[in-house]
Structure 1
Amino acid sequence: MVSTLIRRAAAKKLRANTTPHERMLWRALKELPIEGSHFRRQAPIGPYIVDFFCPAKHLIIELDGGHHNEDETAARDSTRQSWLENEGYRVIRFWNSEINSDLTAVLERIYAELYGSREAETIRLKHRRK
């Protein structure tokens, strides 16, 4: 198992070198009406570093580029997602092209994952700290 300090340093490095799609989604996530909670970006969880994480809802958002279509990368993604889901997290994935072509639809899906539907009233989310 990789030490916590190494994972935190790797996450910090990833935050400093975000992709254009990650920056676009990060700016948009900050505009969502999420009372009392927030997303973290490049957050270490177990042996992995996830793209975006809402601790209050145990929701993880992953952005995938074209290389995620390759067999080896897709297999690693599947293993990673299974581990995260077994730990109680919900994982939703978007292609980078979705961020470019229809960011509104991506945000609506995220909002529905957080609150149940696009029309749902926002509620104050509380962090579940261990």
Structure 2
Amino acid sequence: MERFKSRARRLRESQTSAEAKLWQALRNRQLARWKLRRQHPVDRYVVDFATLDGKLIIEVDGVTHSSSAEIERDKARTEVLEACGFRVLRVSNTDVYENLEGVLELIETSLRFE
């Protein structure tokens, strides 16, 4: 578990610009009442964002997630995370940059049905 915690710390320090932009909108319970964590270990993965009480994981995917190998890897990752009791919401970097309000609305809507 310590290995995952140290990896999460490293990822927090080197987050992508899309993750940083989304984090600024999510941190400090800015999205309704939800407490979100960034680069949080879940099972054998470190997820981009998670709310433990809402049981939702938000993954921000860049262009590298469009190859068939990455799509399969993401599918397997999602299955493991869902087996841990979470719902997984994937958003693209482009959506974060060009439609942040829409992304926030999608997250909030997903949390309403927790």
Matched, 1:100 2:97: yes
Alpha-carbon distance, 1:89 to partner: 0.5
Q: Counting helix residues as a fraction of each chain, which structure ranks higher?
A: 2
1:39-89: per-residue Cα shift (whole Å, max 9, x none)?
Answer: 000000110110000000110000000010011111110000011112211
Are 2:38 and 2:49, in contact at CA under 8 Å, matched by a contact in 1?
A: yes
* Aligned residue number for residue 14 of structure 2: 17
C-alpha distance in 2 between matches for 1:111 and 1:47 = 26
Higher relative contact order (CA 8 A, sep 6+): 1
Q: How does 1:4-43 map to 2 (within 5 A)?
A: 4-30=1-27, 31-34=30-33, 37-43=34-40
Local SS of the residue matching 2:97? helix
Local SS of the residue matching 1:93? strand
Unpaired runs of 5+ residues, structure 1, are 117-130
Which is greater in Rg?
1
Unpaired runs of 5+ residues, structure 2, are none
Percent of pairs identical after alignment?
37
Are 2:43 and 2:84, in contact at CA under 8 Å, matched by a contact in 1?
A: no
Alpha-carbon distance, 1:33 to partner: 2.0
Local SS of the residue matching 1:68? helix
Matched, 1:113 2:99: no
Local SS of the residue matching 1:110? helix
